[in-house]
Structure 1
Amino acid sequence: MSESKQTILDVNNLHVSFQTRNGEVQAVRGVNFSLKEGETLAIVGESGCGKSVTAQSIMRLIPTPPGVIKEGSIKLKGKDLTKYTEKQMREIRGTDIGMIFQDPMTSLNPVLTIGDQISEGLFKNSKVSKADAKKRTIELLSLVGIANPEERLRQYPHQFSGGMRQRIMIAMALVSEPGVLIADEPTTALDVTIQAQIIDLFKDIQKRIGIAIILITHDLGLVAQIADRINVMYAGKIIESGTVREIFYEPQHPYTKGLLKSVPRLDGDRNEPLIPIDGTPPDLFAPPKGCGFARRCDYAMDVCLQYDPEPTSVSEHHSVRCWLQDERANKAVKAIDNRSPKINFQSK
């Protein structure tokens, strides 16, 4: 990826909470990341880690109440979207940022043809004739790999397979040629073959029109095929960030290593069992005092339970939030393996 490409999206110190009867759920806790033109950034992590809430916050689609952006900024081409009114955001959605949701069947209107649903975005965001809207709709259906688009634009969502419906959602998101496309678990309900086709489609579209993509997923296999960089989220925070090669071949955070160990490999021993991450994520009604992963971590130290680590740079593009990066932990870590008891390490 060229270093000359400009940053199109910049998220800084984002905090998002939900007020419930039982208290405040701190879903996103100080997230920072940027996205360059034409880049693919993957955000990965377990269910409930805050990745989908982060995506919805960028689009300002969090229901308010109970959700609220408590702190931070979301700058698109230098303009802070957290300051925008709902009317202003309606103009941004679809034109500057497009989004693909998890389940296309619930996102598509069952009583409207797909041609009407795609062209609706054209009529909303620009003044076009019916003939031009139909022409553009056919172009988009062709772009996303739907055969016989002239005939199929008159059909309804139930007449398409799950993979085809997801392609229609991609076409709808690309109607006004946005600079950023957010794909929230776009292949979750699809079989492996169709998943590969959708990922190939993303890569092809990106090559053709240069769109920047944020891919929200828990599937590391998909990430390896398409992403330039990866943000690993846990308990509402980005705990490790780096290029695909750095995350897959030089992971630094115990959680990242645990995710990679739990993924089956074609080049691995078929008789070797997968290693799960013991325990469960913390309750974000009352986030833990120190590192959110400490109570599940085999390397956890006293300091991990008391203080949240700050990001540490491993390389130019690789950073991690972990006390194991502290020079005082090096000797202690060398003396233990993955199943050793917790060790003591006092903070400054």
Structure 2
Amino acid sequence: MSETLLEINDLAVSFSTQGGEVQAVRGVSFAVAPGETVAIVGESGCGKSVTAQSIMRLVPEPPGRIKHGSIHLNGKDLAALSDKQMRSVRGKQIGMIFQDPMTSLNPTLTVGDQLTEGILTHENISKSEAEKKAVELLNLVGIANPQERLKLYPHQFSGGMRQRIMIAMALMCKPSLLIADEPTTALDVTIQAQIIDLFKEIQEKTGVAIIIITHDLGVVAQIADRINVMYAGEIVESGTVKEIFYKPQHPYTRGLLTSVPRLDGDRSQPLIPIAGTPPDLFSPPEGCAFTSRCKYAMEVCRAYDPAVTHLSDRHFTKCWLQDERAEKPF
């Protein structure tokens, strides 16, 4: 990777509760290059959204806090910035599309007011200039009659159109990085396909880098360049789309792939769910967090956390099965 836009190193985020400390993110490291699409996938509760919110510094403090680690955007450590300094980053340098377009927009404000708020905050332009940019963005995301639509309220749009408005809002200040948190979850399959095509088109036209957070591997296969697989607050495997889909090396990654239907495989084969439940992050296990659900688990897995094994320049995994002394089950 010749150039890095975003680089996260050893990020750990915890939440203090009456029951103790929840270690939601535990030592996450990854990078994003300009114009690249990186996916973060995993089950609910694995730390995907907390990682995204940490990049934007939106984790509420308290109860949350960044325990350690760095988040560098164009060489600037976001984890060390004050709230005031972060306000100049949010929207202008990083745009974010939050989960559930049905509730992310303010029902009491027109779409035009919500679209122009960010650019009026960050740039010294008039209201009419901001509205002109809003019209351009609504055109880009495929909303017809944009000039008239600026005057409407969110309830006057369908779910798919609200998601397009959210995308337009995130792009208003031309950020270099766009974070999309479950951008297709609340939409039907047809609208999902349209939104995926829209992301591709926007990336071609603007060159924005995208972090897409999802549990939908079908979405990932169509849009991502690289995939980070998260489990229990850690990245357990990372690689290109082809490496993850065709050469998965972590049992959890293989479990995710066998638990969802595939159009390019034998459809007569039954889906195989991952047995068990994720570990309690109040007190994460000493060894590999996936041990209790892994059919290949060994004694060493329970006692010691596996080291990172680099399988290629861009493919790595954390698993004791990669040790030269381990029997290779697949």
Shared fold, TM over 0.5: yes
Q: CA deviation at 1:162?
A: 0.4
Name the SS for the 1:27 alignment partner: strand
Q: Does residue 205 of structure 1 match 2:198?
A: no
* Structure 2 residue aligned with 1:70: 67
CA distance in 1, matches of 2:32, 2:269: 38
The alpha-carbon deviation at position 156 of structure 1 amounts to 0.6
Q: Distance in 1 between matches of 2:210 and 2:20?
A: 34
Partner in structure 1 of residue 251 of structure 2: 254
Alignment partner, residue 99 of structure 1: 96
Q: Secondary structure at the match of 1:277?
A: coil
Q: Would the aligned equivalents of 1:95 and 1:176 in 2 still touch at CA under 8 Å?
A: yes
Shift of the alpha carbon at 1:270? 3.6
- Contact 1:253–1:322 (CA under 8 A) maintained in structure 2: yes
Within-5 A mapping of 1:93-132: 93-132=90-129
4+ residue runs of structure 1 moved beyond 4 angstroms?
A: none
Q: 1:271 deviation in Å?
A: 3.5
Aligned pairs (5 A) from 1:227-266:
227-266=224-263
Equivalent residue number for residue 194 of structure 1: 191
Matched with 1:315 is 312
Shift of 1:31: 0.3
User: 2:134 aligned with 1:141, yes or no?
Assistant: no
**Per-residue Cα deviation, 1:284-315 (whole angstroms, up to 9, x for no partner):** 00101100001100100000000000110001
Q: 1:90 matched to which residue of 2?
A: 87
Q: Which amino acid aligns with 1:171?
A: A
Q: Over residues 154-203 of structure 1, what are the superposed CA-to-partner deviations in whole Å (9 max), with x where a residue is unaligned?
A: 11100000010000000110010000000000111000110111111000
Tell me which residue corresponds to 2:173.
176
Give CA-to-partner distance per residue, 1:238-296, whole Å, 9 cap, x none: 00000000000000000000100011022444443200000000010010110000110
Q: Tell me, in whole angstroms, the C-alpha distance in 2 between the residues paired with 1:267 and 1:124.
A: 48
Cα distance 1:76–1:267, how it changes in 2: closer, same or farther (>3 A)?
closer
- Structure 2: segments with no counterpart, 5+ residues: none
Q: Are 1:17 and 2:24 counterparts?
A: no
Size of the alignment, in residue pairs? Answer: 330
2:294 corresponds in structure 1 to 297
TM-score using structure 2 length: 0.98
Aligned residue number for residue 218 of structure 2: 221
Give the conservation status (yes or no) of the 8 Å contact 1:299–1:333. no
- Post-superposition Cα deviations, 1:176-233, rounded to whole Å, max 9, x if no partner, equal 0000000000111000110111111000000000000000000000000000000000
Q: Which runs of 5+ in 1 are unaligned?
A: 338-348
1:311-341 superposed Cα distances (whole Å, 9 cap, x missing partner): 1000111000000000000xx345xx8xxxx
Cα distance in 2 for partners of 1:267, 1:164 equals 31
Q: CA deviation at 1:150?
A: 1.0
Distance of 2:230 and 2:29 partners within structure 1 = 11
Distance in 2 (CA, whole Å) between partners of 1:64 and 1:106 is: 23
Give the root-mean-square deviation of aligned CA atoms: 1.0
Whether the 8 Å contact between 1:27 and 1:235 is mirrored in structure 2 is: yes
The aligned counterpart of 2:77 is 80
Aligned-partner residue type, residue 272 of structure 2: I
Contact 1:115 1:137 in 2 (8 A): yes
User: Shift of residue 94 of structure 1?
Assistant: 0.2
Q: For 2:325, what is the secondary structure of its paired residue?
A: helix
In the alignment, residue 296 of structure 1 is paired with which amino acid? R
Output the CA distance in 2 between the equivalents of 1:125 and 1:146.
Answer: 25
CA distance, structure 1, for counterparts of residue 103 and residue 285 of structure 2: 35
> TM-score normalized by structure 1?
0.93
Is 1:47 matched with 2:44?
yes
Q: How far, CA to CA, are the matches of 2:312 and 2:72 in structure 1? A: 25
Matched, 1:167 2:164: yes
1:28 corresponds in structure 2 to 25
Alpha-carbon distance in 2 for matches of 1:333, 1:327: 9
